[in-house]
Amino acid sequence: MKKEELFQIMNENPVLHLATMDGDQPRVRGMLLFRADEDGIIFHTASTKEVYQQIQKNPKAEICFQGQGIQIRVTGVLEQVEDETLREEIFNHPTRKFLQAWKENGIDGLLQIFRMKHGTAVTWTMVTNFDKKEPIQL
């Protein structure tokens, strides 16, 4: 499978599961993808959340997508993104109307954007269940 196909599946199935570390304890939670493309897998959270603190302490993570009968797991390092254009794009995107209250109440600084760029993906299906994993560099 080519990385462009993986990005398409990710974008068509934007609910992801993010695994981080809390000390020596793994933590997994559902998140909402903003976008996946050559610029990386981009999502956001609030600076008040535990996941934000966990990423700050250890930016290594794994992201899992499920769609079209395929599971995609991407391993890599998260980086915090400080890009005002992207920030405004997120706030103004039709799928992010829930964030407008943050802007209206002057707490838009809570929004923290992360990207996993150059991650390594592996795929899984019922058909390929026992096949050797072939890593795909994103």
pLDDT digits (tens, 9 = 90+) for 76-113: 999 999 999 999 999 999 999 999 888 888 898 999 99
pLDDT of 73 > 90? The answer is yes
pLDDT digits (tens, 9 = 90+) for 27-64: 999 999 999 999 999 999 999 999 999 999 999 999 99
pLDDT of 20 > 90? The answer is yes
Residue 40, sorted as left (phi over 0), alpha (psi -120 to 50) or beta, turns out to be left
**Calpha distance 103→111 (Å, rounded):** 10
Neighbours of 116 (CB within 10 A): 23
Closest CA relative to residue 78, chosen from 60, 65, 62 = 60
**Calpha distance 53→97 (Å, rounded):** 25
Would you state the pLDDT for residue 16?
A: 98
The answer to whether 25 and 35 have CB atoms below 8 angstroms apart is no
> How do the domains of the chain map onto residue ranges?
3-128
Would you state the pLDDT for residue 103?
A: 86
Residue 26: pLDDT band (50, 70, 90) is very high
Name the phi and psi angles at 55, rounded to 5.
-65, -40
Average pLDDT of the residues of the chain: 96
pLDDT of 130 > 90? The answer is yes
**Calpha distance 90→84 (Å, rounded):** 10
pLDDT of 6 > 90? The answer is yes
Would you state the pLDDT for residue 104?
A: 87
Pick the CATH number of 3-128 from 2.30.110.10, 1.10.510.10, 3.40.50.1100, 3.30.700.30: 2.30.110.10
**Residue 32: both structure tokens together:** 């909402």
Residue with tokens 């809390």: 22
